[in-house]
Amino acid sequence: MKQADREADRPPNADIISTSILLIESLIEYNPIVRPNPLSEAAHKYRDQIEELITTFESLPGLSDGCEAMRRWARFFSRLL
């Protein structure tokens, strides 16, 4: 292995330190406002199709445990959009 070169002893970069502090403070103060985004008409059509598909699967007798996970899609579909 090659021995590491010795770095020069120099004072810290004040610009980088102040920029880092500002970045950290802004991240601490960051408070996003969560606003729902309304779906377009075209997106509503897809959402209706997915909800209809899920309802159809739910109505099948003897639904396997794996398929029962489809019920979660009804709750999470809007979030995925």
Q: Which residue has the tokens 């408070």?
A: 31
Average pLDDT, the chain: 80
pLDDT higher than 70, residue 30: yes
Classify residue 3: in a domain, yes or no: no
Predicted TM-score (pTM) of the model is: 0.42
pLDDT at 78: 65
Residues of the chain with pLDDT > 70, as a percent, come to: 78
53 occurs within a structural domain: yes
Residue 4 lies in a domain: no
Residue 68 scores a pLDDT above 70: no
pLDDT at 28 over 80: yes
> Is the predicted pLDDT of residue 19 greater than 90, yes or no?
yes
What is the number of structural domains in the chain? 1
Q: Is residue 9 part of a domain?
A: no
Residue 10 has pLDDT above 80, yes or no: yes
In which domain, by residue range, is 64 found? 14-80
Residue 76 domain-assigned (yes or no): yes
